[in-house]
Each structure stands twice: as structure tokens, then as C-alpha cells.
């Protein structure tokens, strides 16, 4: 019998085919800032929200509205100023959704401290008590105080600009594209795109991708892993669930199976956290050391292009990742 291959992207969730994904996405965010709608959604939440509305609702509503307005204020600005209002948009969105999801309203500190090094890409954010570690913990990851992440660290870990980063001369991206190939027999192969490092992949794949180490085995040839029998791959839905749990989903709806995996070079943050750290570092540079941005605003410098790509990707995809967290299942624009 022929072992037929599944056709599709394995993306779980709901695709929305809209004329302007960016504006549609922010319209969804804006709806979270409508008290009447949010109260109705909270009343049907599972598990139910037992904290009184007055203790968290007004806090969430005003911060989400501020997130939308700060984003609007960032439009049309250059790299010299755009990172600041965009960061406050992201920060307020996180705080509003922390209140919605966990009824947390008492974190006044950003949870990050700016550390300058005289070079923009080496500038870092140090984790301190506040919004950032509270939010990361709410997503299931604990961060010790004093952990630090440079702008370069985070740039290299953002899937949506991984292709841009790889061609920019700024160093190697830590994101690898993965193409799942699945058959009706239950056999599933994960094809990793690792140009120039196939041998390293074959030797180091368990260290690079530990979440796959106990579930997969290495195929005899190439940068290919086979999903083992301990994982349910009996149907399309089960394969989608495995991919969504172990890989990073492509945020645009696609007919092709394109996923991402992050190399485990340092403790892995939630995917959306890399956007927030990048925006915090750039916003801090705008506020305290704008001279660090001189090279970034030079139209002849490659970093100007990549940072603009970063800000555009953040505006487009960061709120989508937050909506995925709030709704517990993805919606693709």
C-alpha cells in the first residue's frame, strides 16, 4: 500500500483572511480595551475569574487603550524616536493582559534594567523584579534576577527576521526553519534547514533542541529527525498538536508546512519575550544614550535596515503572540 503524505501546514487554530492584517490585528487588541466586551468575555472565562472586576478590570482596560494609542503615536517616526512609543505600547499591552489573565496589577517596575556597553548591539537588559519576570513566569518560565540579554542575543532569536538576520552580516541567527513531512502511516520527519552546518547538526542536535531529544531520532542522512513512537502521530490533528507544542508556528497562515526551532544556546525565553527585550533596549537608548543610535540612522549602514525590519516585525507580530496567549489558541492573520 502507498504511504500517502499529508497535505497542509499543520497550523492549528483559526485563519483570518483580511485585507490589512496589521490594522485588523490592532483592532482586535483595541477590543480588549472595551469594558463592556471585556466584562462579557471575563464572565465566560474558563476557569472562571473570581477576582472582582473592580480589582483588575479598569487597570487592564486603560493599559490596553494606552497600548493602542502609543502604537499609533509611533507611526511615521524614525529610528531616533520610534522605539520609545512602540516599547510603551508593548509594555502596556503586557500589563493589561497580565491583569486580564492573572489579575496581576501591582508591578510598577518594568522588570528590566538597561546596561550600556558603548555599542548598541552589545547593550543589554538585566532582569529585576517587576513586569517582565512576572509576565514570563505567567507564561511558564522562571528567570533568576540578574539574568541579562543583549540586543544581539534577542535579535538572533526572532523567527520573523531570521532570514534578514542571516544575510545582514550581524552574525548567525539561532532560529532554524523546520519543514515537517508527515504520512498517513504515522511516520513524521522534521527537515531542518541548516546550510553549512549539517555535520554540526548531526552531532549536536540533542543539545541544540533538547525538547526534541527524547522524542526523535536522527535519520541516516541529512539534518532530518524522525518523530518516535512515544508521540501520537496517528492523525493530522495529533501531528499539529505535536508541532505546536515543540516548535514555533509560522504566524501567517500558510498552505506549506513551515515552522521554526530555536537553538538552546542559553536559557530559552518565551517567543514574545525577545521582542519586548529588544524594544526595551532600543527605547532605553532613545531615552538615555541616543548617540548609540547614530549608526542605526545612517542609511548606508546595514544595521539601520535590520532594526527597521525588527520594529516592523514587532508591531506586526508581538500583539499577535500576546493574543495567542490570551485566547489559548492561535489566530492567524
Domain boundary among 205, 227, 262: 262
Residues 144 and 194 grouped into a single domain: no
Q: At residue 125, what are phi and psi to the nearest 5 degrees? A: -120, 120
Spell out the SS3 assignment of 132-159. HHHHHHHCCCCCCCCCEEEHHHHHCCCH
Residues 287 and 147 grouped into a single domain: yes
Asked whether 275 and 317 are in contact (CB, 8 A), the reply is yes
Residues 45 and 136 grouped into a single domain: yes
Most confident of 74-83, 165-174, 293-302: 74-83
Cα–Cα distance list, 200 to 38, 194, 197, 326 (Å): 49, 9, 5, 38
Indicate the pLDDT class of residue 31, thresholds 50, 70 and 90: very high
116 inside domain: yes
Residues 252 and 292 grouped into a single domain: no
Query: What is the average pLDDT value for the chain, to the nearest integer?
Result: 94
Among the ranges given (37-51, 58-72, 187-201, 220-234), the one the predictor scored with the smallest mean pLDDT: 37-51
Residues 289 and 143 grouped into a single domain: yes
Quote the pLDDT of residue 118.
86
Count of domains for the chain: 2
Indicate the pLDDT class of residue 46, thresholds 50, 70 and 90: confident
Quote the pLDDT of residue 120.
94
CB atoms closer than 10 angstroms to residue 137 = 13
Model confidence over 205-238: pLDDT tens digits? 999 999 999 999 999 999 999 999 999 999 999 9
Angstrom distance (rounded) from CA 151 to CA 163? 17
C-alpha cell at 159: 523567527
Quote the pLDDT of residue 302.
84
Domain boundary among 262, 281, 312: 262
Quote the pLDDT of residue 266.
72
Cα–Cα distance list, 286 to 41, 84, 184 (Å): 37, 7, 53
Residues 96 and 57 grouped into a single domain: yes
Cα–Cα distance list, 182 to 8, 258, 264 (Å): 10, 13, 25
Quote the pLDDT of residue 288.
96
Domain boundary among 262, 292, 311: 262
Quote the pLDDT of residue 295.
78
Structural domain span for residue 211? 175-262
Residues 258 and 276 grouped into a single domain: no
Please give the average per-residue pLDDT across 10-36, as a whole number: 96
pLDDT for 45 beyond 90: no
Quote the pLDDT of residue 1.
62
Total-model pTM: 0.95
Quote the pLDDT of residue 329.
81
Quote the pLDDT of residue 139.
95
Indicate the pLDDT class of residue 14, thresholds 50, 70 and 90: very high
Angstrom distance (rounded) from CA 146 to CA 98? 22
Spell out the SS3 assignment of the chain. CCCCECCCCCCCCEECCCCCHHHHHHHHHHHCCCHHHHHHHHHCCCCCCCCCHHHHHHHHHHHHHHHHHHHHHHCCCCCCCCHHHHHHHHHHHHHHHHHHHHCCCCCCCCCEEEECCCCHHHCEEEECCCHHHHHHHHCCCCCCCCCEEEHHHHHCCCHHHHHHHHCCCCCCCCEEEEEEEEECCCCEEEEEECCCCHHHHHHHHHHHCHHHHCCEEECCCCCEEEECCCCCCCCHHHHHHHHHHHCEECCCCCCCCCEEEECCCCCCCCHHHHHHHHHHHHHHHHHHCHHHHCCCCCCCCHHHHHHHHHHHHHHHHHHHHHHHHHHCCCEEC
Residues 147 and 278 grouped into a single domain: yes
Residue with the bigger pLDDT between 204 and 166: it is 204
229 inside domain: yes
Amino acid at each position: 500500500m502507498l504511504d500517502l503524505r499529508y497535505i497542509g501546514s499543520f497550523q492549528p487554530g483559526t485563519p483570518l483572511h483580511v485585507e490589512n492584517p496589521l490594522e485588523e490585528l490592532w483592532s482586535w487588541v483595541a477590543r480588549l480595551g472595551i469594558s463592556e466586551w471585556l466584562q462579557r468575555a471575563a464572565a465566560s472565562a474558563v476557569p472562571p475569574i473570581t477576582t472582582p472586576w473592580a480589582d483588575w478590570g479598569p487597570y487592564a482596560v486603560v493599559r490596553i487603550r494606552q497600548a493602542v494609542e502609543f502604537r499609533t503615536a509611533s507611526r511615521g517616526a524614525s529610528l531616533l524616536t520610534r522605539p520609545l512609543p512602540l516599547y510603551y505600547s508593548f509594555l502596556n499591552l503586557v500589563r493589561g493582559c497580565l491583569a486580564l489573565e492573572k489579575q496581576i496589577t501591582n508591578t510598577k517596575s518594568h522588570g528590566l534594567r538597561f546596561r550600556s556597553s558603548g555599542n548598541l548591539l552589545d547593550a543589554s537588559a538585566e532582569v529585576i523584579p517587576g513586569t517582565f519576570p512576572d509576565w514570563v513566569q505567567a507564561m511558564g518560565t522562571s528567570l533568576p534576577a540578574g539574568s541579562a540579554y543583549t540586543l544581539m542575543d534577542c535579535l538572533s532569536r526572532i523567527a520573523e527576521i531570521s532570514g534578514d538576520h542571516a544575510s545582514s552580516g550581524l552574525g548567525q541567527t539561532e532560529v532554524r526553519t523546520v519543514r515537517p513531512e508527515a504520512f498517513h502511516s504515522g511516520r513524521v520527519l522534521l527537515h531542518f534547514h541548516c546550510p553549512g552546518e549539517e555535520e554540526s547538526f548531526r552531532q549536536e542536535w540533542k543539545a541544540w533542541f533538547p525538547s526534541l531529544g527524547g522524542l526523535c531520532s536522527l535519520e541516516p542522512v541529512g539534518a532530518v529527525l524522525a518523530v518516535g513512537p512515544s508521540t501520537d502521530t496517528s492523525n493530522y490533528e495529533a501531528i499539529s498538536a505535536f508541532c505546536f507544542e515543540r516548535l514555533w508556528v509560522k504566524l501567517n497562515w500558510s498552505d506549506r508546512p513551515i515552522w521554526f526551532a530555536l537553538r538552546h544556546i542559553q536559557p530559552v525565553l518565551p517567543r514574545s519575550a525577545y521582542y519586548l527585550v529588544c524594544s526595551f533596549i532600543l527605547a532605553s537608548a532613545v531615552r538615555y544614550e541616543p548617540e548609540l543610535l547614530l549608526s542605526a540612522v545612517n542609511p548606508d549602514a546595514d544595521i539601520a535596515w535590520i532594526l527597521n525590519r525588527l520594529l516592523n516585525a514587532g508591531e506586526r507580530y508581538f500583539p499577535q503572540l500576546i493574543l495567542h496567549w490570551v485566547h489559548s489558541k492561535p489566530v492567524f492573520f
